[in-house]
Structure 1
Amino acid sequence: MKYLFCFNFFITLLSLQLSSAQNNATDIPMNSSNWKIHKGTSTFETFDNRETLLLNGKAFVKNKKFSNGTIEVDVFANKNRSFAGIIFRKQQDTMEEVYMRLHKSNQADAIQYSPSYDDELTWQLYKEYQANVTFKNKGWNNLRIEVNNNTTEVFINDAKVLTVENLRTADNNGEIGLFALFNNRFSNFRFTSNEVASKTNKETKNKKESNIISQWNITKAFPFSEDELRFNSFSKEKFATVTTESSGLLPFSKFIKKRSSGNFEKNKEVYAVASTSIESNNNQVRLFSYDYSDKIIVYLNGVALFRGNNAFRSKGLQYQGHIDINANKLYLNLKKGKNTLHCAVIDKANGWGLIGKLE
């Protein structure tokens, strides 16, 4: 009898906690008085006996900020190529995004986390934050994220499908909203706020290889022209020192703005140059392992050694262009003393990045 009483008490307490969490949730009705549309088209209408938002672009909840807690929304099934997701902690043109590739149900990249810098997704740089999910092909799919400081857990139809251990932007609060590309329909948007996240949003320290290049000197962004890009065109530019993520990844858009961004493949190509110095006690050969997005020209001591194209679909319709530090190998003939490695990295969309190590 004693154990039965304890069990019943536990169930009652759990029910009260769940009820309290639900009561603390803020529902945002799907109408124009609650939402502001950013760069896109929208229609608020009744569909399937619900208030819905048909969106192609971004929409943000008016006068609401979010730090930690839960955000969820229902997304109507769509077999056509399209994307639908949640935006959170938006400040100016920087935000965190979790989204569904609805046309990729039961594929490795059906769900994606990506930080967005300069109002542009960077998914090519974060293959590790994709997951295989099977979506309902009829009716509504529920997308829910649970945010706790630097970690986010992602749920589809109440099943946990992805854990993001290192949210990449440095912002600990901001606006919340929705993202859709090629028209998707949303309903039942709600969120629950917990305590404000820690102001020091530090990346969890993973074991790092000692030969990772963790600092680069970078220029600002320049318009790219194949005929005009020469070593002399940037060698005297001003460089600023930046630190990579613990993996060695340098996401350029986190530090510098493009002149054309936010329009996916309609962007005009730009380039920036990342440089590092290599001291050598004698003449020797060292291996440079690296990857990049979208294109690159590698110079050693002013001499071009390699040109490559890793852009989305550059090697076929299914080619993603994800970054992998071991994808490219280049032997560097170092002279005794100071050597300078310059990487001119050209980008259009989907993630502007560089990663490298010396072996």
Structure 2
Amino acid sequence: MKKIILIVAALLATLFESYAQEKKSKIPGTQNITLSAEKWEFQPGKVDFLEFKGRHTMKIAPASGPIVIKDLIFTDGTIEYDVIPAKTEFASAIYFHRKNEKEQEIVYLRVPKMTDPFANEGIQYCPILDGVNMWDMYPQYQSAAQAKTDEWNHIKLVISSMQMQVFVNNTLRLTIPKLEGRERSGSIAFDGDSYISNIEIKPDQTENLAQTEGADLSRHEANYIRNWSVAQPALLAEGREPTTVSDLPKDDSFVEKIAAERYGLVNLTRRFGGSEKRRIVWLKAIINAKEATQTNLQLGFSDEIWVYLNDQITYTDKNIFRQNMKKYPDGRISVQNGSTKLKLKKGENQLLIGVSNDFYGWGIIARLENLEGIAAIEPYEVKKRVIENIERYLGVYTAEISPTVKLTFIQKDEKLILQTSEQDSTPLDYIGNDLFKMGLGIEWQFKPDLKQVIRRENGFEMKFAKEQ
């Protein structure tokens, strides 16, 4: 009798499970994606559809590229699937909101780390902008996955307009308060050597996840320098350090503005795209101090940085992942990457920062540790001053202490140019009252009535007399 009861109970359990599966599959709008070749776009020879571990599966080969579901555009809802990644694979990924290879969003298991409960990089979300995987710009969007090896792992993405939650084996692993991609709808694709099965798409089923952007807990902090003037990117030769006058941008280069995103990140990739060759961008801000004071400037940067305060270089550093010159945390951008002391004078202080990049994400975070004595932080504004009677400054000048040292000042496009040779010329920025700035703390004070110009640098002066 006892045996009969156990058999009946087992049959009832099986029937109940079958009913639940049937009910689940009949939820309005749910799409069970067919695992057959006609439903997918892929490179020849990169996908097989076969039986594996008692299931009908899609086997993705190594180096397959994205395997895209045909005729499906996804905006909001739930995506669920089961996956067994190959042990030799680096990442097993799902793409969504996919416009093309350059614009999409991705969630991926880092397979070598996915079983480690203390590996924060086990699973990650990031946008792909202009073809650049932004993994190193969003370290806050990664977590331990605690996935299983050689067993099915159930992955679920719940996407609700601006927010997303990611579950691994029914446990919440990632909460994304703001999706960072440019697209709000697009195709779905898979990538990485793995077996995939049981793909379900549930449009508009968002499990009551909020549609609005979640909180940015850094937003209330005035410490972050969030608004900058920015120059256009320029190529920077390998091995070159921008530490000479000719390397630095002129004041009139800063005609555009750029603002920080969440967590104080100035996302240069979003603005200027990816960098296959080493490029540098210069940013400039003004810090007004009520009195002379000191504060630490905390910095996150990718990949290289040069900091100038009032024309004096104060800091340079590198956060280069592939050359094992990476900063904590493991080459990702973070305000903990570095810091330097700023000695601010009373009044206006010019902060100039150059950031170069040729590897994945490009950005900077700048935060003042202490705000005591700070009156304002603003983007640099170009002050256009007309040079009146510019001809008064033109001509050849000879150093009083060494007659063989000669300088030539010429006019070009309403600017005063210092020419030291046929190849070497430097535009000067007009400050007013016959004073011009060259950069790196070098100034030229003209005295037209005396037919003189005085070169000033770090408290030292050198006089030149105008030739007749």
Q: TM-score normalised by the shorter chain: which range applies? A: 0.7 to 0.9
Distance 1:15 1:28 in 2: 19
1:250 and 2:273 aligned: no
1:46-85 alignment to 2 at 5 Å? 46=50, 48=52, 50-55=56-61, 56=63, 57-85=65-93
The equivalent residue for 1:25 is 30
TM-score, normalization by structure 2? 0.63
**Does structure 2 retain, via aligned residues, the 8 Å contact 1:273–1:343?**
yes
* Separation (CA, whole Å) in 2 of partners of 1:287 and 1:318: 18
Deviates most, 308-317 or 341-350: 308-317
SS in 1 for 2:46: strand
Q: Residue 302 of structure 2 aligns with which residue?
A: 293
Instruction: Give the SS at the match of 1:139.
Output: coil
Give the distance between the partners of 2:357 and 2:32, measured in 1 at CA.
39
Deviations 1:250-288 (A, max 9, x none): 22111111242xxxxxxx433322222222344433321
In proportion to residue count, which structure has more strand? 1
Q: State the alpha-carbon separation in 2 of the partners of residues 244 and 17 from structure 1.
A: 49
Higher mean C-alpha deviation, range 274-283 or range 159-168: 274-283
Structure-1-length-normalised TM-score: 0.80
> Contact 1:30/1:44 (CA < 8 Å) preserved in 2?
no
* Corresponding residue SS for 1:33: helix
The Cα of 1:145 is off from its aligned counterpart by 0.6
SS in 2 for 1:108: coil
Residue 179 of structure 1: how far off its partner (Å): 3.5
Instruction: Name 1:342's counterpart in structure 2.
Output: 352
Return the alpha-carbon distance in structure 1 between the equivalents of residues 45 and 260 of structure 2. 36
Matched residues, percent identical? Answer: 23
* 1:128 match: 140
Paired residue type of 1:86: I
- Say which is worse superposed, 14-23 or 272-281, in terms of deviation: 14-23
Q: Structure 1 235/152 Cα, relative in aligned 2: closer, same or farther at 3 Å?
A: same
Matches within 5 A, 1:154-303: 154-180=166-192, 183-194=193-204, 202=213, 204-207=215-218, 208-225=220-237, 226-227=239-240, 229-230=242-243, 232-236=246-250, 237-260=253-276, 268-303=277-312
Task: Give the residue type in structure 1 aligned to 2:320.
Answer: A
On the 8 A contact 1:172/1:201 being kept in 2, the answer is no
SS in 2 for 1:136: coil
| TM-fit CA distance, 1:354 | 0.9
User: More deviation in 72-81 or 102-111?
Assistant: 72-81
Distance 1:20 1:43, change over 3 A: closer
Are the counterparts in 1 of residues 97 and 105 from structure 2 also a CA contact under 8 Å? yes
**What is the alpha-carbon distance in structure 2 between the residues aligned to residue 190 and residue 16 of structure 1?**
12
- The residue aligned with 1:265 is none
| Structure 2 Cα separation of the partners of residues 318 and 126 of structure 1 | 14
Deviation (angstroms), 1:170: 4.8
Q: Which amino acid aligns with 2:176?
A: V
Secondary structure at the counterpart of residue 206 of structure 1: coil
Following the alignment from structure 1 to structure 2, what is the Cα–Cα distance between the partners of residues 161 and 174?
Answer: 24
Residues 157, 344 of structure 1: alpha-carbon distance in 2 compared, 3 angstrom cutoff: same
For each residue in 1:143-189, what CA deviation from the matched residue of structure 2 results, as whole angstroms up to 9, or x when unmatched?
A: 21111122211111222222222222353322222243xx3443343
**Aligned counterpart for 1:44 among listed residues 42, 48, 61:** 48
Count of paired positions: 336
Question: Which residue pairs with 2:459 in the alignment?
Answer: none
Partner SS state of residue 109, structure 1: coil
What RMSD over aligned residues (CA atoms) do the two structures have, in Å?
3.4
Quote the Cα distance in structure 1 between the aligned partners of 2:59 and 2:249. 50
2:191 and 2:281 map into 1 onto residues whose CA distance is: 28
- Which range is displaced more, 87-96 or 309-318? 309-318
Cα separation, 2, equivalents of 1:112 and 1:60: 20
Q: Deviations over 1:166-222 (max 9, x none)?
A: 222353322222243xx34433433111189xxx96463435311111122333433
Gaps of 5+ in 2: 1-15, 371-468
Bigger radius of gyration among the two: 2
Show CA shifts across 1:228-249 (max 9, x none). 7456445133552122123111
